[in-house]
Structures are given as C-alpha cells and as structure tokens.
C-alpha cells in the first residue's frame, strides 16, 4: 500500500473548513471525492490540521493510502482534473510508511492579511480583512514580539476541540506593511482553535491602546479569553508554510 503526501493550495471562501462534516461542503470531502474517482477506490485523507470556514491555504499537506498505480509524477494532474478550480494539488511524493500529515509536522506558519485603508477593494473581499481604522504598525509589532516563546495560550483560543495541553511555542510573530496591506506572520509548533485570529485581534487592541504590549505575557498567564483581543474574521487567514523532515519537507517548501 502506497502512502502518498500531497501539496495542496486552496481558496477556502466556498468551504466550511477542511474537516469533513455531515451537512457542509468541506475541502477534505471535495478532495476525497476527487481522489476516490482518480484511484478507483474509496480514499480517506489525513490533513495537517483544521482550517476553519473561509480560511485559505497557500501550502497544505494531506496524505492518503492507495494501491492504485498512477505514477507519482502524474498524480497531481490526475486529481486536479477532478477538482474544482479553487483547490489544486501542486505536487505529490511517495511518503514513508509511518508519515502522517498532522503527526509528522514539525511547525507551521500562518499569515493574516489586513487591508488597512478607508477604501475597500472588491477584488480582495474574500481574501483579506478590510479594516478602515488606521492601525499603528509599531505597536502591533511590539505586541507581536510579546507572544514569542513558550507560553500557555489558552487566553487566545476559542472553545473547540479539546487538547492535552494549551502550551505552545511561537517561534516568531511579526507584523509588516507594504502599501495598505499589513501581513502578520505567526510560526509555531502547533496552534489552538482560533489562536492566530485572536492573537491578531490582541495586536490590534495594542494598536489602539486598549492594552499595552508589555501586558501580554501577564494576560497569557491569567488565561482569561475575555481580557485579550477579538477573534478576527476568517477571510484574512492563510496557512502559509509547513515543515517536515525528508522528501515531504522538501516538497512543501518549494
């Protein structure tokens, strides 16, 4: 049985997130339907993590097992011919037997895009967070740096799937601006439900002086979600990069 890892990208605007659900169209369900047709047998995928409704992925990894004989160099074309235009397989590799898209992941980077202008761009409507109030990038960056390191991040998560621990290590968190577009990049060894969007909301609170960047470590220690910033809208969030060992890792960083 072959274990195949896929490098995907998708626009999440039309989907209720990655994970298969009973009454909603999801990315995983759509991909599994295409893989089932291409491989000639039912296929179940393992994704590298949940992305919520409206969230996008520039790079996403999923793996599945099959005994089909499609050559690995033809796999992307075979699946893409059966996928809608807003999901694409960029590449595929034969993964080790014990590879698991979520369990083998070393770290991930999400980015959050904010269109900080008082004039909206209709072509970016479902791909950025439109935020007309002027934001202070310097204060946002100071707040971003306060999240770096190993902390209990329960103060910036929404109630969702239970986890064994809410402690995570944020390798970097930074805010950069080019023209009217602010991009927040957050890399961590793992993420809690809505953690990125709440971190960005807290950075925006710091921009307005509703809290000081220096307070963030103390707020994380208190663990009270009511004391940190709002959960930002989903359309600005993208899974940007994923790290693995070996050939899968090389594929995902192309």
Per-residue pLDDT reduced to its tens digit, 58-95: 999 999 999 999 999 999 999 999 999 999 999 999 99
- Can 2-104 and 107-240 be said to share one CATH topology? yes
The residue among 15, 4, 24 whose CA lies nearest residue 87 is 15
Residues labelled catalytic: 52
CATH assignment, 107-240: 3.30.70.660
pTM: 0.95
Q: Are 173 and 184 in contact (CB under 8 A)?
A: yes
pLDDT at 227: 96
User: Could you confirm whether domain 2-104 is CATH 3.30.200.20?
Assistant: no
Query: How far is it, in rounded angstroms, from Cα 198 to Cα 220?
Result: 12
Q: Are 184 and 219 in contact (CB under 8 A)?
A: no
Kindly tell me the sign of the dihedral angle through the C-alpha atoms of 199, 8, 17, 98. negative
pLDDT at 163: 81
Q: Are 225 and 157 in contact (CB under 8 A)?
A: yes
Query: How far is it, in rounded angstroms, from Cα 195 to Cα 217?
Result: 15
pLDDT at 158: 87
Tens digits of per-residue pLDDT, 192-203? 999 999 999 999
Q: What is the mean pLDDT of the chain?
A: 96
Domain boundaries, the chain: 2-104, 107-240
Gyration radius of the chain over CA positions: 19
**% of residues, the chain, pLDDT over 70:** 99
Tens digits of per-residue pLDDT, 174-186? 999 999 999 999 9
Where do the DSSP E strands lie in 56-214?
56-66, 87-94, 107-115, 129-130, 149-152, 167-178, 181-188
């Amino acid at each position: 049985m072959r274990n195949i890892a896929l490098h995907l990208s998708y626009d999440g605007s039309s989907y209720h997130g990655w994970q298969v659900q009973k009454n909603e169209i999801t990315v995983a369900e759509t991909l599994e339907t295409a893989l089932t047709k291409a491989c000639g047998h039912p296929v179940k995928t393992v994704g590298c993590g949940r992305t919520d409704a409206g969230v996008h992925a520039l790079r996403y990894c999923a793996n599945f097992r099959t005994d089909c004989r499609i050559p690995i160099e033809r796999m992307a074309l075979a699946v893409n011919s059966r996928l809608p235009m807003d999901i694409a397989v960029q590449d595929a590799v034969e993964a080790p037997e014990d590879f698991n898209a979520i369990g083998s992941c070393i770290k991930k980077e999400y980015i959050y895009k904010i269109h900080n202008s008082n004039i909206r761009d209709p072509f970016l409507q479902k791909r950025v967070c439109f935020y007309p109030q002027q934001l202070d990038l310097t204060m946002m960056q100071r707040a971003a740096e306060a999240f770096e390191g190993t902390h209990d991040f329960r103060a910036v998560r929404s109630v969702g799937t239970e986890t064994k621990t809410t402690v995570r290590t944020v390798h970097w968190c930074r805010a950069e601006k080019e023209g009217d577009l602010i991009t927040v990049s957050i890399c961590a060894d793992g993420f809690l439900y809505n953690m990125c969007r709440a971190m960005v909301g807290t950075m925006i609170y710091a921009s307005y002086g509703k809290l000081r960047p220096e307070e963030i470590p103390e707020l994380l220690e208190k663990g009270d979600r009511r004391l940190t910033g709002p959960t930002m809208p989903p359309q600005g969030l993208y899974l940007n990069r994923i790290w693995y060992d070996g050939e899968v890792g090389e594929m995902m960083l192309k």
